[in-house]
Amino acid sequence: MRKKIVAGNWKMNVDLNESIDLIESIKKIYDPSDDVEVCIAPSFPFLKESSKLCQGEKIKVLAQNVNDNLKGAFTGEVSIDMLKSINVDGVILGHSERREHFNEDDDLLLRKLKVSLENNIKVYFCIGESFVDREKNNHFEKVKNQLDKTVFKIDSIDPENLVIAYEPIWAIGTGLTASPEQAQEVHKYIRNLLRERYGKKISDKTSIIYGGSVKPNSARDIFEKEDVDGGLIGGASLSPQDFIDIVRSI
């Protein structure tokens, strides 16, 4: 009923040859009959080559960002149409690294989200609390606030085109994975918020994936939780074997 998804976010870590090697290695060990949506997110310059290599392989290619304008004088930026012209399947928005290092606030993220959905590119939208929020027990409030200012400003959503990624910032790249129980309680909370906003049918169908130091040895316990529909994987997605082991943990 809900799509299971495992997406590898390669961040700014691999060059062209390394991207090609990663894809070829994933293709060798990945069984496309697995009932999981497998995605990779290479850097902009390698998206075209990546999408060519993934054609017909049941591996979706995502961009790590996109501009909120459709066209124009925005030096250094990349538009949705540009991504679509090279068969990119979706875009990650709202990642905490973009919020923190590139000052992407909720207003800008709402514009990016709107323009992406209006132009039919699937969005993997990230939310999550900081270490301080978690310590103060503010994580539910923080996540609700992020959703209120972005996703929930959209009147209707299509679960085929929008995935929520819960990525607690304190777990990203730190080796501190949220426990399966911690992940489940926030995912369940998000699903309840989705139900209040859009109704049960939509909330039941919207995939909510977890990100933050997921490794092959921690994936299964997290993915087993009822409201966890997969993962957004950083470091471990740079090893084809680890990435595929995580895919198989679903």
Under the binding rule (CB under 6 A), the answer on residue 213 touching ligand 13P is yes
Q: Measured from the CB of residue 142, what is the shortest distance to ligand 13P in angstroms?
A: 17
Total residues in contact with ligand 13P, by rule CB under 6 A: 14
Between CA 165 and CA 148 the distance in angstroms is 15
Q: 16-55: b or e for each residue (b if 16 or more CB lie within 10 Å)?
A: eeebbebbeebeeebeeeeebbbbbbbbbebbbbbbebbe
Catalytic residue among 37, 95, 104, 139: 95
Catalytic residue among 97, 104, 129, 167: 167
Are 231 and 211 contacting, i.e. CB atoms less than 8 angstroms apart? yes
Nearer to ligand 13P, 98 or 225 (CB): 98
Are 81 and 122 contacting, i.e. CB atoms less than 8 angstroms apart? no
Are 177 and 215 contacting, i.e. CB atoms less than 8 angstroms apart? yes
Between CA 207 and CA 187 the distance in angstroms is 10
Give the per-residue contact string, 10-29, with ligand 13P (x = CB under 6 A; - = no).
--------------------
Give the per-residue contact string, 118-157, with ligand 13P (x = CB under 6 A; - = no).
----------------------------------------
Residue ranges in 31-60 that form contacts with ligand 13P under rule CB under 6 A: none
> Catalytic: 57?
no
Q: Measured from the CB of residue 238, what is the shortest distance to ligand 13P in angstroms?
A: 9
Binding span for ligand 13P by CB under 6 A among 25-33, 45-53, 133-141, 207-215 = 207-215
Between CA 199 and CA 53 the distance in angstroms is 39
Under the binding rule (CB under 6 A), the answer on residue 172 touching ligand 13P is yes
Q: Which residue is nearest to ligand 13P (CB)?
A: 234
* Token pair belonging to 159: 């679960």
DSSP summary character for residue 178: P
Cα 169 from chain centroid?
14
Are 185 and 224 contacting, i.e. CB atoms less than 8 angstroms apart? no
Nearer to ligand 13P, 98 or 191 (CB): 98
Give the per-residue contact string, 70-109, with ligand 13P (x = CB under 6 A; - = no).
-------------------------x--------------
Residue that the structure tokens 């060519």 belong to: 52
Between CA 163 and CA 158 the distance in angstroms is 9
* Token pair belonging to 40: 């990779």
Under the binding rule (CB under 6 A), the answer on residue 212 touching ligand 13P is yes
Between CA 236 and CA 182 the distance in angstroms is 21
Under the binding rule (CB under 6 A), the answer on residue 110 touching ligand 13P is no
Under the binding rule (CB under 6 A), the answer on residue 214 touching ligand 13P is yes
Where along the sequence are the contacts to ligand 13P (CB under 6 A)? 9, 95, 167, 172-173, 211-214, 232-236
